[in-house]
Structures are given as structure tokens and as C-alpha cells.
Structure 1
Amino acid sequence: MTIKLIAFDIDDTLLSSAKVILPSTIAAVHECLARGLKIVLCTGRPLAGVAPFLAELGVTGDDQYVVTYNGAVTETVSGRLIISHLIDRAGYAAMTDFAAAHRLPFNVVDPQSAIITADHDLDPMIVVQAYENRAGVLIREPGEMPADFAIAKGVFVGTEAQLDAAENAVRVAFSPRFSVIRAGRQFLEVMALGIDKGKALLALGEQLGILPEEMMAFGDEENDLAMFDAVGTAVAMGNGTDVAKAHADVVTASNDEDGIAKALASLVLGDTGV
């Protein structure tokens, strides 16, 4: 079946290990756009954090889309909201209390991209988040926020060892009410129940009249598995985790070895010689 929509994770997938988009990827995406395909960046970042990559790829306008906050928000590239699934202030407060009790660095991200934490001593990963997302950081307790305040996701951060030790406790505390996803070795995210990249893509497909079999997705990590399971063709990067590769239909070269361009050439663009 013809591919009509291609979804890309960003970190370690769209971006090389040097945190840049390879020229081969840009050229292949330009060819896909010229053929009328939808190019959807699916990421834990907000729109502001992906805007530079969209511009570099030439993905513009109100008829191209992004899935942000790992599926909590879907919007057009120009910023028109399509779907959102947010967490209320009570949920935000429960996560903040848990983080304080377990001495885990923690922050939340609101739909306007601000990063908010009750931690006065900022963990380095929170600073990295703010930089990558082009966001400011606010030091606030939940009680300081308006009663109707809602968040896109909560994020436990720290070292890989810290999160390995805490992950089960986080899942026990929050899985009954929320979705808990290990978004990376240093990120453990809590979102609205049942929300993930895969469900967001399926909902977007319904609105656009695109079937799951007409979708392709590229990823490398645990938070890409739902996306892999949702689409007709799942492509894992050669640098991806063993779990991601096991869930994929195809394993391509790494993010430093033109993996996206090679897969698009053989699976979408019809050039098997790449």
C-alpha cells in the first residue's frame, strides 16, 4: 500500500549523534514533500523545540502536522491545535509530592512550553530540556499555579542509574491513573492515561483520512514502540535499542550512516540503489 504519512522521532533518529539533520535526510524528505506526503515529527518536545528542524526540512503550512509531548498534543506546523490531552493541577501536585519524597529531580511542561519545577537546585537535565525546547524555567509549587492550570506531561529526570532505581516505584504510583513512559535513559515521563505517539498518529490519521497501513514511522527508543505498533511500516534506526529493533518491520542504518535516506529510498522513493 502507498505510504502517505511518515512520522519521525527526533533525538537519535532524525538527528545524528552530532545533533544535526544529515544532508541526505533533508534531500530525501524534500523528495517526499514534493510527492505530497505528510511529514510528522513525533517527539517529547513542544512545537517551539521542533520549529528549527521543521524549517530545515522545509515542512511548513497549516496542512502539515506535529505530534508533541510524546502524544499529548497534536497541532499543525503553524500552531493550530488539533487534539490535546492534559493533566490537571491535582495530578501535577501528586507528581511533585512524589518527587520530593523520593528526592528525584522533576519538572512539568505546560502547553505553552514553559518548564516548571519546585526544585530550587536545578538538575542539569532540566537545564538541557529548557535549552533544547527553547523554553524558560519557572520555580513554582503547584499551589502557586491557577486552579485550572494543566500540564502536558510530568518528567522525572536525572542519571540513568537514578531512574533505573526509581522507575518501578513511579509506575506503581502513577500507572493506574496515567501513562508512564521511559522516554530515554535520563527521562521518565508521566502523561494522560492512554496517551502515546501511536494513539496520536492514529487520531491524526482519522482526521486526514489516512489509514494506519499508509503510515511509516522511524524511531530508536522505548517511547517509539507505540508508534511502531500503530503504523503499517515501522523502521528502527541501526543505533536504536534492541527492544525498538525487535518491534520494527525494518532496521536501517544508524543516524550517522544515512539510515533515514536509505530506508526512504528503498521503501518509499523507489531507489533501491541507495
Structure 2
Amino acid sequence: MIIMAIKMIAVDLDGTLLTSANTISSETQRTLQIAKSQGIKVVLASGRPLSGVLPFEEQLGLSGEDQYAVVFNGAVVQNLSGKVLMSQEMDYRDFTTMLRLQRLSHVNLHFETTECFWTLDHNLSVQMQINAAFTNNEIRVRNRDEIPQDFTFNKVGFTCAKDSDQIDKLWAAIPEWAFQSYDIVHSLDTCIELNALGASKGNALMNLAERLKINPKDVMVFGDQGNDLSMFENPDFKKIAMGNAISDIKERADFVTDDNDHNGIAKALKKFVI
């Protein structure tokens, strides 16, 4: 067994750190806390805003100005006191573009900022309400003329009901120019997420590692879905795919561990790190 000299562990939340019951298993929690006690930075890297990450940071014993989170799929890096270290935003022109894309199918559209979610949809899907609840976020429903010209946002979410095919329909209809202009991921069956071009978990982690003077070769990443792919495309990171990961993640991984319901993170850390 080879023990790697890892200095940062970046962990996706949903489908990776969290079980199907949306909890951290006691074994995974204990193992990550051991890693932290050994001086390894544990960084949660999520599509959620910081408000949706903090409860799990606290459960892992992480807090304060010298601990960090990658949020909004990498559009924002914050310390756990809330200070923004890096932010990539979209503006009003992008806002109008998102409304055009929404018309390609029957989906909900919301705009995410570090303060709250915004939407023009007065009939909210259950999925959008669940997303807001899971991330401890307020949804502000507004009319288009109430959105100011200086409106900026970090991430966009297109969502639909679980039994709907409208997200798949939207994915098939998104024009090529949009993929060239934005980072777009089909993160769940019911969700498409969109960020400014270059805003990704992989790029955000490189930025954070540079700030902390950590060699990229000393960074280990865990993930399972499309919004984790940028972490797995980095040739330097040590890449661990969850057993429940999509094939694109597994194909790029250095190692495939057990799934999120069977302590996959803990098993990989015990094998390679602690």
C-alpha cells in the first residue's frame, strides 16, 4: 500500500460525501476528521451556495477564516466565515440569454447569488423548492421589470419535476454557441446547471491550492457527477471516483472506491492517505 502525501482533500457533497439519506456516515465523518487532525485541508466542493454547505462543514468540525469551501460549482470560493476569495459572475445580458434558453422547453429557471435565489417563475416546481430548502435559501419571485440592469449572479439552475422529460428536451436543444459561451453541466436527471465560462470546481481548486501554496499533485478529489468532471480532467490531482459515479468520472479516475452509501470516501482515505 502506498501512502500519498496529500495536503488537500476536495469532496463533492451530493452523491459523494452525503449518503442517499442526505447525511454524512459516522465512519466517513471520523475519517475526514482524522485527516484534518493530520493537517490536511478538507474542502467541500459543491454546486450549492455556502448556506447549503455550512451545516456539513460544522458536522466535520470545520469553521473559521482558515477553512474554505468551493461553491456554486466553482464560481465562488469562500472561507467559512463567509469572505469571498474568488467570484465569477454573470450579468444582465446573461440574464436575458438564460430567459431565451428557458423557452426551449417547459422548465423552471432560477438565478443563484451569495444572498438568495431569484426567479421570474410564479409557479415553482417541487424540485426548485427542494433545492432552496436543502441549501437553506430564500427564493425571491420577481417580475422581469423588477430585475435591475446591474443584476449579477453566480450560477443558473434549470429544473423540472422528477417524472418530466423536459430537462432532457432542453439539453438536446441547447445550441452549440451556448456551450462555447458558458460552462453547462447536466448534473442530475432533473437539473441543468450553468456558470460563466471557466467557472468550474477544477479551476477553483487550482486557484485555492495556489493561494495556500499547495502543489496540485498533493490534492485529492472525490466526485460522482457531471459537475465534478472538471476536477477529474486535471492531470495532477489524485482522482477518486465514487462507486455510484457516472462513467465519465470513473474513466478519468485513478481509483474507483465504494459508493456513497458504503463509506467510499473513508475506504479510499484509509487505503491511500491515513
Task: Assess, with a 3 A threshold, how the Cα gap between structure 1 residues 252 and 100 changes in structure 2: closer, same or farther.
Answer: same
Segment of structure 1 superposing worse, 189-198 or 228-237? 228-237
* 1:68 aligns to 2:88 (yes or no): no
Q: Secondary structure at the match of 2:136?
A: coil
- How do residues 102-117 of structure 1 correspond to structure 2 at under 5 angstroms? 102-112=105-115, 114-117=116-119
Segment of structure 1 superposing worse, 163-172 or 211-220? 163-172
Q: Which structure has the highest helix share of the two? A: 1
Alignment length (residue pairs): 268
User: Which ranges of structure 1 fall in alignment gaps of 5 or more residues?
Assistant: 270-274
- How do residues 1-274 of structure 1 correspond to structure 2 at under 5 angstroms? 2-100=5-103, 102-112=105-115, 114-158=116-160, 159=162, 161-172=165-176, 174-230=178-234, 231-269=236-274
Q: Is the 8 A contact 1:69 1:152 kept in 2?
A: yes
Q: Secondary structure at the match of 1:91?
A: helix
Q: CA deviation at 1:95?
A: 0.5
User: Which ranges of structure 2 fall in alignment gaps of 5 or more residues?
Assistant: none
Segment of structure 1 superposing worse, 171-180 or 51-60? 171-180
Q: Secondary structure at the match of 1:191?
A: strand
Q: Is the 8 A contact 1:108 1:153 kept in 2?
A: yes
Residue by residue over 1:145-184, the C-alpha shift from the partner in whole angstroms, topping out at 9 and shown as x without a partner, is 2222101111111146322221132253522321111122
Residue by residue over 1:186-240, the C-alpha shift from the partner in whole angstroms, topping out at 9 and shown as x without a partner, is 2111111111100010011111111111000011111111112225211111111
Task: Assess, with a 3 A threshold, how the Cα gap between structure 1 residues 2 and 148 changes in structure 2: closer, same or farther.
Answer: same
Task: Give distance in 2, aligned partners of 1:108 and 1:6.
Answer: 29
State the AA in 2 paired with 1:164: D
Task: Assess, with a 3 A threshold, how the Cα gap between structure 1 residues 75 and 222 changes in structure 2: closer, same or farther.
Answer: same
Match of 1:272 in 2: none
Alpha-carbon RMSD? 1.4
Task: Give distance in 2, aligned partners of 1:216 and 1:69.
Answer: 20
Task: Give distance in 1, aligned partners of 2:256 and 2:180.
Answer: 33
Q: Secondary structure at the match of 1:36?
A: coil
Q: Is the 8 A contact 2:104 2:170 kept in 1?
A: no
TM-score calculated relative to the size of structure 2: 0.93
Segment of structure 1 superposing worse, 141-150 or 216-225? 141-150
Task: Give distance in 1, aligned partners of 2:144 and 2:180.
Answer: 21
State the AA in 1 paired with 2:42: I
Stretches of 4+ aligned residues off by more than 3 angstroms: none
Task: Give distance in 2, aligned partners of 1:138 and 1:223.
Answer: 25
